[in-house]
Amino acid sequence: MSEIKPTDPAATNAGEEKDWAAAKAFFDSLKTRKPRPPKPQYAVTIAVSSRTLFNMVAERKIYEEEGVEKYVTFQQEHENEPLMPGVAFPLVKALMTVNSRLRQLYPDSEELFDIVLMTNNHAQVGVRLINSINHYDLTIERFCMTGGKSPIGYLKAYMTNLYLSKDGEKVTEAIEEGIAAATMFASGDVENQLSDTQLKVAFDGDAVLFSDESEIIVKQHGLDTFFEHEKEFENKPLAQGPLKCFLEALGKLQRKFYAKNERMTCPIRTYLVTARSAASSGARVLKTLRSWGLEIDEALFLAGAPKGPLLQKIRPHIFFDDQMFHIEGAKELGTIAAHVPYGIGQKYHKGELIEQPVKDKK
Amino acid sequence: MDSMVRNPDVKQRDAAQAVVVAVSSDAIFTPEVEQVHGATEPLRKGDAFSFMKAIQVVNERLLTLNSDETLLFDVILLSNDSEEKHSRIIASAKHYGLDIGRFCFCNKEDSIESLQSNNVKLFLSTDTNDVCKALQKGVPAALLYHQTDPHHQTEDQLKVVFSGDVIGSSEEMLHGLREQGFTETQLQGFKTAKGSVKEFAILMGEMRRRFGLEGSPLCTGLMTAWSSRDVCASALKTLRGWGLLVDEAFCLAGAPRSPILNLVRPHIICLDGLYHMEGFTAMS
């Protein structure tokens, strides 16, 4: 079995095998025959926060205006009312669709998506969250409710491949810990228009899949220098960015479909949506991907044109970009956008350097 | 036959109202590899040390809220050590300023009886066999979680985690486990543990309610190791029904538990299903 995560020798010990065996026994014994979650070290683990999975805007308001005790009481009182779907909901459904297809083709494989609910909510709020998960019949069997403490440490413990949250600070912390993460933004009602048979994931290039080294050149020396630089270093692969590993994980799952002759009906499709232009700076990007052994299904070079209209046509379940300017443009036209707070782009807004307040290290 | 010594340095609690916890002396003070006759220096700190400090914080906070509070932790140190070590144990407790109400010195064979006769609400040990035996005899017992990094163990908040796989499983589910390879002894062990966990959970619930959601010196959690989310939800509700509203909840569904426990860092784990998987082979 190919590894999606590095095997930690300390991790595969007898105690863990027993836990795993017990879980297998438990799920096999259930009359409902619900699928058991995959072994974490082989799975592509996606951790979602409660506010990305469900719409908790009204509840959040209570928390902010009336405090945690009133908030928890409110949630308990409304425990049996399912929450409305949140911004990551379509993505979760698409991941479940891919899992069904994978299970059909590879019934004994642990290489599946594993969706984990990672929230710093109080455990008593958890009852409403679980009831809501039950209501929509989502395959989320693992969760961490940390009762107010930061969930970041648990991301590593669950071998998370991607973390999605509405809280930019947590996302930044995760990226600093080396975990692919993005802050999700609401985009209005797009669920009906998204594909329910194919997971579509769109990535920006610089400072998302790749490092921000080239973006630094643009910001500090301008476009002309950037084009010259990219042409000169066309054959030198760019360094990797925070979401490269996630693309890699998607690629490994895609190849499982190709191996069974399902390339044309592969339920995962990836897109590169970059402001680079194909003629002058695109080659380096494609060559870098090739040097990493990664494929991307569609590479779209916009040469500086706005990303919004193109994304509207693609209708991805999620679009990752490091620049808020592009996130806002995507959102305006209904795309589910996720901000990756990484690299030099965070210091600029619409080309202007932002005054950074001195960061308070807690 | 045991010899019970009251600690003159510690205010005696009302044992009928208090949460009487018996802790094995081998857990509070690291057993010495070589017994040096006539040694007088304090014994070295053991695995239960941060637990002892944490319950002191809880007691202090409870008394700050209500100076007449009777629902306090009341610790009995349970020792099977030879007589010559008794005074050294008492002196060490004094040296570290540990809130130990009574010292109970007895033979190993008489330990269970001592626990039963002193209305102990919880017996704590780092030894899963001792915990198993106590549970089998109907004495509520829990495992002192072995910290891989004792320097990071918090001493200003007591963390108690309840294992929920059996609390949250229905009779039908437990029956189904039999067909999947769990033995009759294991399943019987689950039932016994479930009964003893209830009383302690009720006490913890009552104690937890003395404090608000934030800034509490007592933090409670629930963890399910192998079952589905519905079992975890069921355990949450069961505990709630017993008056315990846990702060944290973790549903592992077969994921490795060490990395998670190393972050949760509980002082004690009230076992019902968890340890039966590891300790079982040692028992049989």
Extract the tokens encoding B15. Answer: 């044992």
Indicate if A204 belongs to the active site: yes
Verify that B70 and B134 share a domain, yes or no.
yes
Measured CA angle at A312 (ends A306, A313), to 5 deg: 110
- Cα–Cα distances in angstroms (integers) from residue A30 to residues A25, A34, B170, B174, in the given order: 9, 7, 11, 10
CA-closest candidate to residue A120, choices A151, A75, A87: A151
- Distance (Å) from the C-alpha of residue B234 to the closest C-alpha of chain A? 9
Average pLDDT over residues B131-147: 82
Give pLDDT tens digits for A8-27. Answer: 555 457 777 878 888 888 88
Query: Residue B283 above 50 pLDDT?
Result: no
- Determine how β-strand B122-125 pairs with β-strand A54-55: unpaired
Chain B contact set for A28 (CB, 8 A): 180
The pLDDT mean for chain B works out to: 86
Question: CA-CA distance, A109 to A3, in Å (whole number)?
Answer: 12
For the segment A272-277, the average pLDDT, to the nearest whole number, is 93
Which chain A residues have a beta carbon less than 8 Å from that of B180?
25-26, 28-29
- Residues of chain A contacting residue B236, judged by C-beta atoms under 8 Å apart: 123-124, 126-127
What is the per-residue burial (b if ≥16 Cβ within 10 Å, else e) of A2-11? Answer: eebbeeeeee
- A114, A204, A206, A212: the catalytic one is A204
Cβ B221–A131 below 8 Å, yes or no? no
Find the DSSP H helices in B70-163. 83-96, 111-117, 128-136
Q: Range with the lowest mean pLDDT among A206-220, B104-118, B155-169, B180-194?
A: B180-194
Query: DSSP state, A113?
Result: E
- Model confidence band, residue B102 (pLDDT cutoffs 50, 70, 90): very high
How many other CB atoms are there within 10 angstroms of residue A325's CB atom? 16
CA atoms within 13 A on the CB side of B37: 0
Nearest neighbour of B254 by CB, restricted to A29, A34, A37: A37
Strands A84-85 and A54-55 come out as: antiparallel
> A302 Cβ partners below 8 Å, 6+ apart?
A273, A274, A275, A276, A277, A310
Residues of A in contact with B226 (CB under 8 A): 19, 22-23, 25-26
- Domain limits for position B59: 3-143
Same domain, B241 and B266: yes
Distance of CA B84 to the CA centre of its chain: 28
Which pLDDT belongs to residue B117? 87
Chain B environment of A18 (Cβ under 8 Å): 277-278
Q: Find tokens 């076992």 and name the residue.
A: B271
Res. A114: pLDDT tops 70: yes
What is the least distance, in Å, from the CA of A244 to any CA of chain B? 25
For A333-344, what is each residue's pLDDT tens digit?
999 999 999 998
Nearest-10 crossing angle of helices B184-208, B171-178 = 150
Average pLDDT over residues A229-253: 95
Residue B23 and residue B125 share a domain:
yes
Asked if residue A222 has pLDDT above 70, the reply is yes
The pLDDT value recorded for residue A4 is 56
- What residue of A is the nearest CA neighbor of B235? A127
Assess whether B129 and B211 both reside in one domain.
no
Indicate whether B167 and B253 sit together in one domain: yes
Per residue in B22-70, pLDDT (tens digit) is 999 999 998 887 767 777 788 988 889 899 999 999 999 999 999 999 9
Instruction: Give the tokens for residue A359.
Output: 């960061």
- Residue-wise pLDDT tens digits, A282-302: 899 999 999 999 999 999 999
Q: What is the mean pLDDT of chain A?
A: 90
- Whether B68 and B156 share a structural domain: no
Categorize the per-residue pLDDT at B182 as very low, low, confident or very high, splitting at 50, 70 and 90: confident
Q: Give the residue on A whose Cα is nearest the Cα of B181.
A: A25
In total, the C-beta contacts within 8 angstroms joining chain A to chain B are 138
CA B277 to mean position of chain CA atoms: 18
Q: Do B169 and B87 fall into the same domain?
A: no
Instruction: Report the alpha-carbon distance of residue A224 to residue A217 in Å, rounded.
Output: 10
Give the B window 188-207 contacts with A, CB below 8 Å. none
Chain A partners within 8 Å of B258 (Cβ) = 15-16
Domain final residue pick, B118, B143, B168: B143
pLDDT at B280 over 60: no
Q: Which residue, of B143, B178, B204, is where some domain finishes?
A: B143
Q: Which two tokens stand for residue A266?
A: 């592969």
Containing H/E element for A137? none
Chain B stretch 146-185, residues whose beta carbon is closer than 8 A to a beta carbon of chain A: 173, 176-177, 179-182
Q: How many CB atoms lie within 10 A of CB B183?
A: 13
Q: Using the predicted structure, report yes or no on whether residue B243 has a pLDDT greater than 90.
A: yes
CA atoms within 13 Å, Cβ hemisphere of A122: 21
Give tens-digit pLDDT for A124-133. Answer: 999 999 999 9
- A12-15: long-range contacts at Cβ-Cβ below 8 A with a sequence spacing of 24 or more? A12/A41, A15/B257, A15/B258, A15/B277, A15/B278
Domain identity same for B8 and B139: yes
Of residues B217 and B173, the one with the higher pLDDT is B217
Q: Does residue A316 surpass a pLDDT of 80?
A: yes
What is the token pair recorded at A281? 């700076």
pLDDT confidence of residue B277: 47
d(CA A74, nearest CA chain B) in Å:
14
- Residue from the list B182, B230, B257 with its beta carbon closest to the beta carbon of A25: B182
Given an 8 Å threshold on Cβ–Cβ distance, is A148 in contact with B227?
Answer: no
pLDDT reported for residue A189: 60
CA distance A228 to chain B (A): 48
pLDDT for A356 equals 60
Q: Are residues B52 and B159 in the same domain?
A: no
Same domain for B117 and B181, yes or no, is: no
The total number of structural domains in chain B stands at 2
pLDDT digits (tens, 9 = 90+) for A50-81: 999 999 999 999 999 999 999 999 999 999 99
Share of chain B above pLDDT 70, in %: 92
* CB contact (8 A) between residue B254 and residue A146: no
Whether residue B9 sits in one domain with residue B88: yes
Q: What is the pLDDT of residue A357?
A: 60
Residue A1 pLDDT exceeds 50: no
Given B89, B112, B143, the domain boundary residue is: B143
Residue range A90-118: mean pLDDT, rounded: 96
Do B227 and B156 lie in one domain? The reply is yes
pLDDT of residue A17: 81
Single out the residue of A345, A233, A361, A360 nearest to residue A291, CA to CA: A233
Inform me whether the pLDDT recorded for A362 exceeds 60. Answer: no
More confident residue, B133 or B71: B71
How far is the CA of A116 from the CAs of A2, A89, A155, A244, B253, in angstroms? 22, 13, 9, 21, 11
